[in-house]
């Protein structure tokens, strides 16, 4: 009797080991490319971006989810490092802060050349992997980082930005954030303002991926309608599994889908939350979503966030629940739309079994255990992102004229900025004031005021 139990337990162990072994074999060929890691933010908070400070050595860094040994143990071969600056920098020093976070990413590559290779094109992945390095890219998190300037957007592109998250957790003057869908923030652009549309066109023209993590539903739809290239969600999970507004609902997943197209569904997808006005965030100026059959499919990518609150909608979560999100996105949008965007070092709670970046092979083993093919696993690890990046590059057009028209002055918060270039409006106000002061005594004397 007891020997039977022993044999089964051993078989179980062997099976577990077999998937772990298979995961490591797959990943030594196709490593993980992750969409979002906030190590640069930790470097700012802990060391004021001084990489030579005591304790800042990335080979022995402690108290973070990310270090060089953990990246190596996790078979991480590509990382979008987040150049993140919080919403309270909006209309203040957001551009300076963003430049500093891009600079610290570049200095990571310079200081640890045997580990990191800063790349700016899809062809860089293969080269980095051949040299056994972590391909490192810049993702700018938060549209406030461009301070409503297409010129700043272009400058950030030249500094290596290869995705721009259109908002963080605040509206910009031109795009709405996810808190609009919770009711915590008011809809402002109702998707994208006219300037927001120019931002998306310019990102398309340059070959910068548009990142829809953190944006409102209406903004997701407006971008999916407009973008000529596939989009990404650099760190978002599935709303159907955990109904948090940071996650991607099924009707949007159906637009992100890659070929072969998912079977059409009735356009009114059921909503898990309590009834709310259906066209949330869709104002009169916003085209009503066309039936799915008429909408183009984007061929984009949803890179799953590991933050407990987005995985289980609770404080606690585990690795298997993260796999549930991957399974769901695969089911609704297809295996080519699945990716990983752990949000390591940007969150406070992580699932049991995915505590730091060294744990990716355990997640891959779980997918294999669930019957994922090697091809689908490799897609989620790296190939889907590389494919999207290549399509974005292909859709770019550097010969086309750059977008020029600036944001309308009345959409800028003007309290601490100069307004050079906006000649008419700023001149008009002092002029009217002067006119009034000179004519008021006269008008008063005529009993006209
Ligand atoms: C980090 O520590 C390792 C091991 O002690 C050492 O070889 C390396 O030079 C250090 N790197 C930096 C940039 O301080
Ligand atoms: C993960 O959490 C879920 C929900 O609490 C639970 O049902 C499941 O057994 C857990 N899985 C593992 C492997 O711990
Ligand atoms: Zn984020």
CA–CA separation, 179 and 255 (whole Å): 22
Same domain assignment for residues 356 and 444: no
Domain boundaries, position 442: 422-449
**How does the average pLDDT of the chain come out, rounded?**
89
Same domain assignment for residues 284 and 432: no
Contacts for 375 with CB less than 8 Å, ≥ 6 apart: 335
Q: Which member of 65, 181, 225, 235 is catalytic?
A: 235
Compute the average pLDDT of residues 306-313: 98
CA–CA separation, 149 and 154 (whole Å): 9
Same domain assignment for residues 413 and 444: no
Same domain assignment for residues 60 and 143: yes
pLDDT digits (tens, 9 = 90+) for 157-171: 999 999 999 999 999
pLDDT for the residue 424: 60
CA–CA separation, 339 and 378 (whole Å): 10
Same domain assignment for residues 381 and 446: no
Same domain assignment for residues 305 and 348: yes
Share of the chain above pLDDT 90, in %: 80
* Residue 214 bears catalytic tag: yes
pLDDT for the residue 5: 60
Task: Tokens for 219, please give them.
Answer: 């903004």
pLDDT for the residue 416: 86
Q: Which member of 181, 254, 324, 343 is catalytic?
A: 343
Does residue 12 lie within any of the structural domains? no
- Least confident window among 68-72, 392-396, 416-420: 416-420
Same domain assignment for residues 84 and 44: yes
* Pocket mutation for ligand 2, best pick of 311, 318, 365, 367 (most atoms within 8 Å of C-beta): 318
Q: Please, what's the b/e burial string for 302-319 (b: 16 or more CB within 10 A of its CB; e: otherwise)?
A: bbbbbbbbbbbeeeebbb
With a 6 Å cutoff on the Cβ, whether 390 touches ligand 1 is no
pLDDT digits (tens, 9 = 90+) for 227-276: 999 999 999 999 999 999 999 999 999 999 875 444 445 444 444 444 44
Q: Which residues are 139's β-sheet partners?
A: 82, 163
Q: Which residue's structure tokens are 């992750």?
A: 34
Same domain assignment for residues 408 and 310: yes
Q: Please, what's the b/e burial string for 154-192 (b: 16 or more CB within 10 A of its CB; e: otherwise)?
A: bebbebbbbbbbbbbebbbbbbbbbbbbeeebebbbbbb
Same domain assignment for residues 366 and 431: no
CA–CA separation, 386 and 394 (whole Å): 12
Q: How many domains does the chain have?
A: 2
pLDDT for the residue 414: 81
CATH number at residue 340: 3.20.20.140
CA within 13 Å, CB half, 118: 19
Same domain assignment for residues 164 and 309: yes
Distances (CA, A) of 445 to 259, 352, 440: 77, 80, 8
């Amino acid at each position: 009797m007891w020997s039977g139990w022993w044999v089964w337990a051993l078989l179980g162990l062997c099976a577990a080991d077999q998937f772990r072994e298979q995961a490591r074999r797959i990943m030594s060929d196709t490593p993980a490319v992750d969409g979002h890691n906030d190590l640069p933010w930790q470097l700012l908070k802990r060391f004021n971006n001084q990489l030579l400070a005591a304790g800042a050595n990335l080979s022995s860094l402690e108290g973070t989810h990310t270090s060089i040994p953990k990246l190596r143990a996790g078979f991480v071969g590509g990382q979008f490092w987040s150049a993140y600056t919080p919403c309270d920098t909006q209309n203040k020093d957001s551009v300076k802060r963003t430049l500093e976070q891009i600079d610290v990413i570049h200095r990571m590559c310079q200081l640890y050349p045997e580990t990191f290779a800063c790349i700016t094109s899809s062809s860089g992945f293969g080269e980095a992997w051949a040299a056994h390095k972590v391909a490192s890219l810049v993702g700018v998190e938060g549209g406030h980082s461009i301070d409503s300037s297409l010129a700043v957007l272009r400058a950030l592109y030249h500094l290596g930005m290869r995705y721009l998250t259109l908002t963080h957790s605040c509206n910009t003057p031109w795009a709405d954030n996810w808190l609009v869908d919770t009711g915590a923030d008011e809809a402002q652009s109702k998707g994208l303002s006219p300037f927001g549309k120019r931002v998306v066109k310019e990102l398309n023209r340059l070959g910068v991926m548009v990142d829809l993590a953190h944006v409102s539903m209406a903004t997701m739809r407006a971008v999916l309608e407009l973008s000529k290239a596939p989009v990404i969600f650099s760190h978002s999970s599935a709303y159907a599994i955990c109904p948090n507004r940071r996650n991607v609902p099924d009707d949007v997943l159906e637009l992100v889908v890659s070929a072969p197209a998912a079977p059409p569904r009735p356009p009114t997808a059921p909503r898990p939350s309590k009834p709310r006005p259906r066209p949330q965030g869709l104002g009169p100026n916003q085209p009503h979503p066309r039936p799915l059959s008429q909408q183009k499919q984007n061929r984009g990518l949803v890179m799953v966030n590991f933050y407990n609150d987005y995985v289980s909608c609770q404080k606690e979560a585990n690795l298997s629940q993260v796999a549930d999100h991957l399974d769901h996105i695969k089911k609704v949008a297809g295996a080519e739309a699945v990716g990983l965007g752990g949000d390591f070092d940007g969150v406070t709670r992580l699932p049991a079994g995915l505590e730091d970046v060294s744990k990716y092979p355990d997640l891959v083993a779980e997918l294999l255990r669930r019957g994922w093919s090697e091809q689908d696993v490799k897609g989620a690890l790296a190939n889907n992102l590389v494919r999207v990046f290549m399509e974005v590059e292909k859709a770019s057009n550097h010969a086309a004229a750059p977008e020029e028209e600036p944001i309308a002055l009345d959409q800028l918060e003007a309290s601490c900025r100069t307004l050079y270039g906006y000649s008419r409006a700023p001149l008009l106000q002092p002029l009217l004031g002067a006119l009034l002061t000179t004519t008021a005594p006269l008008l008063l004397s005529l009993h006209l005021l």
